[in-house]
Amino acid sequence: MSSLRFLSPFLPALTALIGLGGFIVGIYSFTAPISAAQIYGVQLPANTATRSFPSKKSDEPAAVDRNNSQHVAYIYAHGIRNFAIGLAIMGLTAYWQCQTSLAAQSTAQRCLGIVIMAGSLTPVVDAVVVWQAAQKDKAVDMETGRKAARLHALRSLAWLATGLWCLFG
């Protein structure tokens, strides 16, 4: 544990980066849903509805196909999930760092550990979903889906390690 004590000044930065990542991915899901789906590891149908926030620089097609709007609605649901988790982790990190009492800091750090450990289930499920889609669905390039599934699994391990570090470190 002595190595973790040496690295403990990096823990707040690591938890803030995890939160910021979720926050940014959540925003990106609303501004570029098709690109966000591709980064997630799935390919939406070409005629799927896109931008809700028009941008002159966006690569997203502007056409809306009402029959496929449920695909984008699903990406928006992923976006709000990531946004909310990221915001919660950033908020708990800020709260933890603003405490003056050691007991309050320790309690906030442990709460943050529980939230991050619980949140580590999300990338596990994401990995399984993307892996299964890559195996079964023609809408997912097999190699891209496998890479995305591995990335989700690695993210889960990083979240789990960080959560354990917050909880017991």
163 contacts 113 by C-beta, under 8 angstroms: yes
- Within 8 A by CB and 6+ apart from 83, the residues are 22, 23, 25, 26, 27, 29
- pLDDT (0 to 100) of residue 2: 47
Measure the CA–CA gap between 65 and 47, rounded to whole angstroms: 6
On the question of pLDDT at 59 being above 70, the answer is: no
Distant-in-sequence contacts of 62-66, Cβ < 8 A, 24+ apart: none
Give the pTM: 0.79
Dump pLDDT digits (tens) for 83-124. Answer: 999 999 999 999 999 999 999 999 999 999 999 999 999 999
